[in-house]
Amino acid sequence: MKGSIFWGFMATFELVSDYRPTGDQPEAIAALVAGFRSGQRCRTLEGVTGSGKTFTMANVIAQLGQPTLVISHNKTLAAQLYAELKEFFPRNAVEYFVSYYDYYQPEAYIPQTDTYIEKDSSINEEIERLRLAATDALINREDVIIVASVSCIYGLGSPEDYRGMLVTLRVGDEFPREELMRKLVDVQYARNDLATLPGTFRARGDVLDVFPGYSRDGVRIEFFGDRIESLKRIDPLTGKTLQSFDHTTISPAKHFVMPAEKIAPAVERVLAEMEARVAELEGQNKLLEAQRLRMRTTFDMEMLREVGYCSGIENYSGPLSGRARGSRPYTLIDFFPKGFLTIVDESHVTLPQVRGMFNGDRARKLTLVEYGFRLPSALDNRPMDFDEFMGVTGTMLFTSATPGPLEGGLAGEPVRQVIRPTGILDPVVEVRPLKDQIDDLIEEVRKCTENKDRVLVTTLTKKTAEDLSAYLQNIGIRCKYLHSDITALDRVAILKGLRKADFDCLIGINLLREGLDLPEVALVAVLDADKEGFLRSVTSLIQTAGRAARHLQGRVILYADQITDSMRRMIDLTQERRRVQEEYNRAHGITPRKIEKAISESLVQAEKARETEEFVVREAGEDYDVVRAIAEMEREMAEAAEAMEFERAALLRDQIYELKQAENPFKGTVQVKKRKKIAYHPGPGRPGGRRRKP
C-alpha cells in the first residue's frame, strides 16, 4: 500500500501484512482518511478492545503518506506500538523516543527542611541511541514514524543548530583528517582509541572510525592524503565491512549542541542574566542565594567555553538558543517537517497527562529559582503547555475505547470501530450484591481455574489487593497482586506468568485498565463497583471490562448494592455493542473464534524490536536495576540507624559498598553509577531527610 501526495508533501509508506481490513475497519479507515483530506484537523477513532485499532492506524498512515508521530502515555504501551508498527512498516523508518532514564531524581529544593536534592540519574545508553536515531531519521528521511511517550513535549536542542552541525562526507572530497576530528569534537564526539563506544571516534594512520550515537554500526573513513578515498559501514566489534557508499552524513552525538561561533554570545547572555539576578537577590538581602547562583552559573559557563557542553545545559536552553523569555521550548516535534500526522493513543489518558505536565514542572523550578539554585530562564526548560502542544501538532488522530469530552470538543463525533476480526462479542456484564462478594468471587475463580481460564480482580486500594491475594493463596488459589509499587521489570514478569498459567488470578487496582493484552482472561471481577469515583468512573469500568473482551466466554461481574450512573452507562454501552456485533456476525455468517496468541519469551521478537525487550520493558531475567536497589538500601540503612538497629544498618552498609565497588555486579543493561556522597540528616518533621555533605 503506497502513500499519496497530501498537502504538498509526499512520502511513501509500504504496509506489509498478511491481513486485510475486516469488519468495520474498512469503513473506519475510509472515514478517517476522507475527513483529513477534506480539511478536518482532528478526528477520533473509538475502537473497542481487540478491534485492531493499531492496524487501522497503520492503514491511515499508509494512505495519508505523512511523517507520523505516535504518542502513548507510558513506555510499555509505547513499546508495544513500536513493535507492531515496525512489523507493519519494515521498509520504513520506525523509531522510538522515550525518556532515557533508568533512574531519575529531579533537582529540587525543600525550603521547609532546607533540603537540596541534587539531580541524579542513570541514563540508559541504548534508549539514548534510539532517541538520537529518531531525530537522525527525521533529518535524513521522509518516510518516518516515531513512537514516543509524552517525553516528546519536553525541551530539546534547537533543530536549526542540530541541522547546521551535520557532518557531510563524500568520496573524493578534500577533508583533512585533523579538520574532521576537530569537527567531530565540535558536535560532541570524544576520541577513544581503545573502546568502540557510541558517540566516539578513533584514529589509526589514514583511517578514521566514527561510532555515531544513533547507530549500532560504525563509519570507516579512509584517506589518501587529505582526500576521502572510501566510506564504509563496519561492525564495531569485528571491523568487518558491511557496506560501502559514496556519501554519508554524521549527526551530532547529543541533542544540545551549539556552533562554536554561537557559544561566546550565548555565554554573555547567560552571564548578563546572572548579574541582573544576583543584584536582585542582593537587593532582597538574599546573600547566600546570590553567592550560590554566581558560583554555579560561572562554573557552568566556563565548562561551556572550554568543551562546548556542561552538566544541566538544558537549564540554559533559552538564552543559549536566543529565544525570548517565556517562549515555548524546542521539542522533538520541531524536527518534523510541515504537514505531519500526530496519533494520540489511549487519548483519554494521554491528553490529560500532557495537560498536567507543565504545571508540575513549573512548581518545582520556581522554588529552585527563588532560592538561587537556578536562573529565571531555567523556567523555559520545560514541557510545552497544552495550548502550545495543540499549536504545533497539526493533523491529529485520537484513538481510545473511551474517548473523553476533550476529544469530543476537538474532533466532534468519533468514528466507531466495534467489530472484532475474531467475531468475539463484548463480555456479558452481571451485577451481584456486595454481601458475601469474596465467597462468591472464590467460587467463580475456581470455576475458571477448572476451565484453565484466568481471572482479573480489581480493588480500590493497594492494601486490599495485597490482603486479598494473601487470603486467596492461603485457601489454595494461585494468585498474585499488581499495583504501582511493583517495578516495571516485575510487572512484565507477573503478566507473563499469568498468561503462562503460573498462577490463575491477578489482583490489581488501576493498572488493570488499559494496555493489557491477555486473551486467556475469561472473567473480570470488580469489587465495590458502586463506590463512585475515579477508579469506578464510566471510563475506568469500560476499560476494565475490556480486559475480558478477548475471550469467547468473557464475563464481567460488578459487585454492588446499587447501580451507579457510571455502572448504568457502562452496562448500556456494552449491551449496545453486543447487539451490533451479534447482528454483524449473523449477517456475515461469522462464528466467533478463539484468539491464539503466542506467549513469547519477550514482549517483542528479537530483531523486530530488540530495544524494546532489552532496554525499555527490560524483561530479561538477568537485568537488575542496581541504581534503584542502592537507593532503596540507603533508605533502609538510614531507617535502621534511626531506629538504633545498628547491626542491620552495618550489614546494609557493607552490601551497598560491595554493589558500588563492583565493576559489573550483574549482567544486564544498567551499570552501577558512582554517586555523590549523601548524608542522611533528619530535618524537622522529616525523618531521614537528605542533604548533601558540606
Q: What is the mean pLDDT of residues 202-231?
A: 92
CB atoms within 10 A of CB 647: 8
Q: Cα–Cα distance between 411 and 43 in angstroms, integer?
A: 5
Q: What is the mean pLDDT of residues 518-528?
A: 92
Residue ranges in 309-393 assigned as alpha helix (H): 317-321, 347-370, 386-392
Taking only the tens place, the pLDDT of each residue in 603-642 is 333 333 334 433 333 333 333 345 556 666 777 777 777 6
Note the pLDDT of residue 99: 77
Q: What is the mean pLDDT of residues 64-72?
A: 94
pLDDT at 188 over 90: no
Burial category of 75 from C-beta neighbours within 10 Å (exposed 0-12, middle 13-18, buried 19 and up): buried
440, 79 in Cβ contact below 8 A? no
- Per the model's pLDDT, the better-predicted residue between 243 and 662 turns out to be 243
Most confident stretch, 29-38, 380-389, 634-643, 659-668: 29-38
Q: Which residues contact 30 (CB under 8 A, 6 or more apart)?
A: none
pLDDT at 666 over 90: no
pLDDT at 153 over 80: yes
Length of the chain (residues): 694
Q: What is the mean pLDDT of residues 239-265?
A: 85
Average pLDDT, the chain: 82
DSSP E strand stretches across 435-531: 454-458, 479-482, 505-508, 521-526
Note the pLDDT of residue 531: 92
pLDDT at 519 over 60: yes
Q: Cα–Cα distance between 113 and 423 in angstroms, integer?
A: 60
pLDDT at 121 over 70: no
DSSP E strand stretches across 422-578: 428-432, 454-458, 479-482, 505-508, 521-526, 555-559
Cα distances (angstroms) measured from residue 589 to each of 130, 552, 580, 583: 46, 17, 14, 10
Q: Cα–Cα distance between 475 and 457 in angstroms, integer?
A: 17
pLDDT at 66 over 90: yes
Note the pLDDT of residue 562: 95
Cα distances (angstroms) measured from residue 112 to each of 9, 106, 681, 684: 55, 18, 14, 8
Nearest one of 287, 284, 311 to 299, comparing CA atoms: 311
Note the pLDDT of residue 616: 37
> What is this structure's pTM?
0.74
Note the pLDDT of residue 162: 85
Taking only the tens place, the pLDDT of each residue in 500-513 is 899 999 998 875 55
Taking only the tens place, the pLDDT of each residue in 307-352 is 877 888 888 888 887 788 888 888 999 999 888 999 999 998 899 8
Q: What is the mean pLDDT of residues 244-252?
A: 90
634, 656 in Cβ contact below 8 A? yes
Tell me the three state secondary structure of residue 499.
Answer: helix
Nearest one of 216, 156, 221 to 184, comparing CA atoms: 221
506, 456 in Cβ contact below 8 A? yes
549, 424 in Cβ contact below 8 A? yes
The position carrying cell 503462562 is 500
603, 617 in Cβ contact below 8 A? yes
The position carrying cell 554524521 is 250
267 sits in which H/E element: helix 260-283
Nearest one of 24, 83, 39, 89 to 61, comparing CA atoms: 89
Note the pLDDT of residue 486: 78
Share of the chain above pLDDT 90, in %: 45
